[in-house]
Amino acid sequence: MTKDKEPMVRSFHFVCLITLIVGTIIQFSAGSEFVVNKSNKGLTHVPKDLPPKTIDLDLSQNYISELHLSDISFLSGLRVLRLSHNRLQYLNISIFKFNQDLEYLDLSHNQLQKISCHAITSLKHLDLSFNDFSALPICEEFGNMTQLNFLGLSAKHLQPLDLLPIAHLHLSGILLELEGYYVKEHETESLQILNTKTLHLVFHPNNFFSVQTNISVSNLGCLQLSNVKLRDWNCHILITFLLELTRGPNLLNITLNNVETTWKCLVRVFQFLWPKPVEFLNIYNLTVVENIGKEDFTYSETSLKGLKVEHVTNRVFLFSQTVLYTVLAEMNIMMLTISDTPFIHMLCPQATSTFKFLNFTQNVFTDSIFQECSTLVRLETLILQKNKLKDLFKVGLMTKDMPSLKMLDVSGNSLEYDGRDRNCTWAESIGVLNLSSNILTDTVFRCLPPRLKVLDLHSNRITSIPENVLGLEALQELNVAANSLAHLPECDSLSSLSVLVTDYNSISNPSAHFFQSCQKIRSISAGNNPFQCTCELREFIQSIGQVSSEVVEGWPDSYKCDYPDSHKGTLLKDFHVSPLSCNIVLLIVTIGVTGLVLAVTVTALCIYFDLPWYLRMVCQWTQTRHRARNIPLHELQRTLQFHAFISYSEHDSAWVKNELVPCLEKEDIRICLHERNFVPGKSIVENIINCIEKSYKSIFVLSPNFVQSEWCHYELYFAHHNLFHEGSDNLILILLDPIPQNSIPSKYHKLKALMAQRTYLEWPKEKSKHGLFWANIRAAFNVKLTLITENKDVKT
């Protein structure tokens, strides 16, 4: 919006400048490899090692005092040479005779007193200003520089025929620096200054304005004067000076820089220019001195369209504010800019005003500005940026009688709206309202003009945009950047919204619903918010992927995770979470299915592969191994003859002889068997006891038959000997055939107890399981055990 604030002024400046620039623009397009910058390098001579292909050479701000042919003659392609701010005193222009393409030569700010008379015919820009020439350094030969566009000159005296040699050239700009100028006696003849579109005269900053020579210029479009020091006594000198310059019909633009003047003289200058064809008057850096009194001003018909006064210093302390403001407020022009001044107020024009554009940026205006003012009926743009406004309600009230107001800028004040139930009143015509950089809160939405199209609220203190705001149906652009919003707005009541700016807020979880709600959005900017990269954000990121990326300003670079710490700084674009961890139903289903598959697998393993049996066997095997290892050998070195005694029923003898015994003997395990080792003559029980006591372990092959026929021998034995006490592992029980618990006679307490402990090894029917079964049996034996022989035993 700012771009369009002063279209007319800008375009005019543009026209004035463009003619100056156009001639020199070509050089700047030279490739950067041919640009040599030796500026501010402390050089006292032109360096000898310059690349011969140099096109643009910058030697400004050095201490170079001499320039010779040999310094630059080999730079045959040279087009631009900058030598400003050096110490040249004399220059022989003929040294450039080998630089046939030289177009731009800046020799300003040296100490040149003389230059030789030669023409560089290719030159377009020649700057000789700010030097020590006593008369204008122009000789006949300069008339041959037909390409010349811009000429900068300096002189202490001006003489009528000085400029004659170049009078026929079509220049676009002349800079005439007269800082050393002083008036010679009788020096009142006019100086003919040629055809130029812009003329810039620079005077000495400390000298009072005293140019006596009349300078006349045909075709002049822009006049610029710098350093103009005026008092009441020399005011007429400036006015006489301007009289000649403003004679032509084309002078449309006057700019004064660094003006020090009395108020009286300033008003006289205004009054002088009022009937002239000048359209724009700009005064930059104005100092008002001595006193400010009431001055009459006749607002005759004028061509002036715009007056701009920027940066005012007031050295007058006691004066009537009204006197000052009246002259400005009553001006019958379209555009007035008064900015960066200590002015505290502006008066309401007394009669219907011509102002269309008022820019009062950076003054000290308060809420009383234009209250009850009904004469600004044509006002379209009002800028009150950076003043001391406080109450939004009063700002609304101010616009009440401005029926043409389209754009109001009150940014950079301290505006608040307290939200009391006074109804805000606004000019209905306002389409653009700039409320940025104030201290407004959420209540501001209750105090807005009804037909707003563009609203700038950035840098305020808004925490949320109320859902049911009324009267913003026409709003197309909303800027709420740099506030404290936690959410993106919904567009239910912002039905026309097409541009939204919400950068630098506190939006952590923008809802994806935004894009459905705000159908007309063609640009949203939401970068630099503290995004929480969690599941909720996924939808938003996805919805950004769906709308075209041109809609989302700053994507992807300004959109970064702020939380959790593990993702801090990650671009939202690169933030991915699996759909699983974000979808509860999916998660439960997955866990359920996995659990089910696992259960089925385990069940199948149990049913088809007898998993529990394997587990039990492996478990037993491990335990047995462990125990066998941990028993110290010397404890076993009792008088043992056998590793194992096997007890079994006759019915099971086939299994014992064909399976068990061969398997054990293969491992060198010595066995005590009924038939082989029983001592004849002793009772069965005596034999058994003898056998058990000479064996390291006792193996019982259990089966229903065994219980019926054999167990009776042992039950009694167990009752009296403590050999198989609790926890002893001298006993190995093999369950050949299942024994139903109820088939064990009740008197066999020990057997019942052993069976209940389930410490027996079951003989598996499946062949595949036999290997593990045998491994378990073998693990019970420690083969390091040394046995004594039977004979020895008999002897002892």
Ligand X SMILES: *[C@@H]1O[C@H](CO)[C@@H](O)[C@H](O)[C@H]1NC(C)=O
Tell me whether residue 385 or residue 483 sits nearer to ligand X (CB atom): 385
CB of 415 to ligand X, least distance (A): 12
SS3 sequence, 231-269? CHHHHHHHHHHHHHHCCCCCCCEEEEEEEEEEHHHHHHH
List binders of ligand X among 537-576 (CB under 6 A). Answer: none
List binders of ligand X among 42-101 (CB under 6 A). Answer: none
Q: Are 139 and 164 in contact (CB under 8 A)?
A: no
CA distance 675 to 383: 125
Tell me whether residue 279 or residue 409 sits nearer to ligand X (CB atom): 409
Tell me whether residue 23 or residue 489 sits nearer to ligand X (CB atom): 489
CB of 571 to ligand X, least distance (A): 27
CA distance 64 to 55: 20
CB of 477 to ligand X, least distance (A): 7
The distance in angstroms from the start CA to the end CA of the chain is 123
Using CB under 6 A, count the residues that bind ligand X.
Answer: 11
Sign of CA dihedral 126, 130, 134, 135: positive
CB of 432 to ligand X, least distance (A): 6
Options 2, 548, 742, 791; binder of ligand X; rule CB under 6 A: 2
Structure tokens at 348: 């309401």
List binders of ligand X among 372-391 (CB under 6 A). Answer: 385
Tell me whether residue 396 or residue 431 sits nearer to ligand X (CB atom): 431
741 Cβ contact list (under 8 Å, min separation 6)? 752, 755
CA distance 111 to 96: 19
604 Cβ contact list (under 8 Å, min separation 6)? none
Q: Residue 418 is which amino acid?
A: D
CB of 352 to ligand X, least distance (A): 28
Q: Are 640 and 670 in contact (CB under 8 A)?
A: no
CA distance 611 to 601: 11
CB of 387 to ligand X, least distance (A): 11
Query: In a 3-state reduction of DSSP, which class is residue 37?
Result: strand
Site string for ligand X, 488-527 (x = CB under 6 A): ----------------------------------------
CB of 359 to ligand X, least distance (A): 12
CB of 386 to ligand X, least distance (A): 7
CB of 455 to ligand X, least distance (A): 8
Tell me whether residue 354 or residue 434 sits nearer to ligand X (CB atom): 434
Q: Which region holds residue 228: left if phi is over 0, alpha if psi is between -120 and 50, else beta?
A: beta
743 Cβ contact list (under 8 Å, min separation 6)? 704, 707
Structure tokens at 66: 């001499």
Tell me whether residue 162 or residue 456 sits nearer to ligand X (CB atom): 456
Options 226, 258, 341, 411; binder of ligand X; rule CB under 6 A: 411
Segment lying near ligand X (by CB under 6 A), choices 52-60, 339-347, 407-415, 529-537: 407-415
* Exposed / middle / buried, residue 419 (Cβ in 10 Å: 0-12, 13-18, 19+): middle
Tell me whether residue 349 or residue 431 sits nearer to ligand X (CB atom): 431
Q: Are 747 and 602 in contact (CB under 8 A)?
A: no
CB of 77 to ligand X, least distance (A): 44
CB of 226 to ligand X, least distance (A): 29
CB of 454 to ligand X, least distance (A): 5
Tell me whether residue 127 or residue 409 sits nearer to ligand X (CB atom): 409
State the number of CA atoms in the 13 A half-sphere of 325 facing the CB: 17
Nearest Cα neighbor of 16 from 150, 129, 142 is 150
Residue 192: strand pairing partners: 216
649 Cβ contact list (under 8 Å, min separation 6)? 701, 703, 705, 706, 708, 709, 710
Tell me whether residue 498 or residue 511 sits nearer to ligand X (CB atom): 498
Site string for ligand X, 269-308 (x = CB under 6 A): ----------------------------------------
Q: Are 323 and 304 in contact (CB under 8 A)?
A: no
Tell me whether residue 123 or residue 482 sits nearer to ligand X (CB atom): 482
SS3 content of the chain, % helix, strand, coil (to 5): 30, 20, 50
Q: Are 114 and 88 in contact (CB under 8 A)?
A: no
Tell me whether residue 259 or residue 398 sits nearer to ligand X (CB atom): 398
Nearest Cα neighbor of 203 from 183, 184, 222, 180 is 180
Options 137, 152, 412, 489; binder of ligand X; rule CB under 6 A: 412
Tell me whether residue 436 or residue 508 sits nearer to ligand X (CB atom): 436
Tell me whether residue 177 or residue 416 sits nearer to ligand X (CB atom): 416
Ranked by CB distance to ligand X, the top (closest) residue is 1
CA distance 113 to 675: 144
CB of 268 to ligand X, least distance (A): 36
Tell me whether residue 457 or residue 561 sits nearer to ligand X (CB atom): 457
CB of 439 to ligand X, least distance (A): 14
Query: In a 3-state reduction of DSSP, which class is residue 675?
Result: helix
Tell me whether residue 385 or residue 687 sits nearer to ligand X (CB atom): 385
CB of 5 to ligand X, least distance (A): 8
Site string for ligand X, 431-470 (x = CB under 6 A): ---x-xx----------------x-x--------------
Is there binding between residue 605 and ligand X (CB under 6 A)? Answer: no
List binders of ligand X among 732-761 (CB under 6 A). Answer: none
Tell me whether residue 288 or residue 478 sits nearer to ligand X (CB atom): 478
Tell me whether residue 118 or residue 458 sits nearer to ligand X (CB atom): 458
CB of 457 to ligand X, least distance (A): 10
Cis peptide before 342 (omega within 30 of 0): no
Tell me whether residue 332 or residue 498 sits nearer to ligand X (CB atom): 498
Segment lying near ligand X (by CB under 6 A), choices 54-62, 205-213, 269-277, 409-417: 409-417
Sign of CA dihedral 581, 583, 589, 593: negative
CA distance 648 to 662: 16
Residue 122, CA distances (Å) to 98, 198, 387, 657 in order: 11, 21, 52, 126
CB of 486 to ligand X, least distance (A): 24
CB of 462 to ligand X, least distance (A): 15
Distance of CA 374 to the CA centre of its chain: 46
Structure tokens at 106: 């800046």
Segment lying near ligand X (by CB under 6 A), choices 101-109, 404-412, 636-644, 710-718: 404-412
Q: Which residues bind ligand X (CB under 6 A)?
A: 1-2, 385, 409, 411-412, 434, 436-437, 454, 456
